[in-house]
Amino acid sequence: MADCITKNILDKNYTLGIAKEFEKERSSEKDFLIITNNSKIEKEFSNIILVDGDFKDVLKKTRDMVHIGYKMISYPLAASIRMMYSPTRSILISANPQEVDEISMEIIDDSIQKYDITMGQRNVDVRNRKDYEIIDYDLIISAIKENGFMKCINKI
């Protein structure tokens, strides 16, 4: 019983230590750029590349940035087919270009092809744009938090 209590206390202290480290290391706006066409994100962040266009235009701009050395942090496609109809999209990339990342290049090029295949003759759902903006905002906030958490974990 005492061993179990000691283990739980140690686990709790370890978890608290990670949480404190995460607070210090979490992503700050200098760590990433957001490529977006979402007006909600435009109002909230200063480190954005604003795209005047639709989902595919955001993918193309991301591809252009990846080809000059930026690395993708978040996955460019939505997790569900329904989100592919969204007129808005935000993608997290590294703040500074380095050498070209082959994996990011392959992912973004494949994503554009998959988007074209999936959309086919379908129309973007502009009627529900505000709802899609809220969902996209929540997804990018989650990606920012996860990026900060991964930075913290990689230091341990």
* Residues 57, 91: Cα–Cα separation, whole Å: 12
Per-residue pLDDT at 116 exceeds 70: yes
Name the pTM for this structure. Answer: 0.79
Range of the domain at 71: 30-154
User: Do you know the residue count of the chain?
Assistant: 156
Within a domain: residue 6?
A: no
The enclosing H or E element of 6 equals: helix 2-25
Q: Is residue 1 part of a domain?
A: no
Number of structural domains (the chain) is 1
Domain contains 9: no
> Within a domain: residue 17?
no
* Residue 103: burial class (beta carbons within 10 Å; 0-12, 13-18, 19+): exposed
The answer to the question of residue 3 being in a domain is no
* Residues 7-26 pLDDT 10s: 444 455 555 555 555 444 44
Of 132, 116, 128, nearest to 83 (Cα)? 132
Q: Residue 39 pLDDT > 80, yes or no?
A: yes
Provide mean pLDDT across the span 29-43. 91
Q: Which residues contact 78 (CB under 8 A, 6 or more apart)?
A: 84, 86, 89, 139
Is 38 part of a structural domain of the chain?
yes
Residue 124 has pLDDT above 60, yes or no: yes
Angle at 89 between CA 88 and CA 93, to 5 degrees: 155
With respect to residue 2, please indicate whether it lies within any of the assigned structural domains: no
77 band by pLDDT with thresholds 50, 70 and 90:
very high
Domain membership flag for residue 86: yes
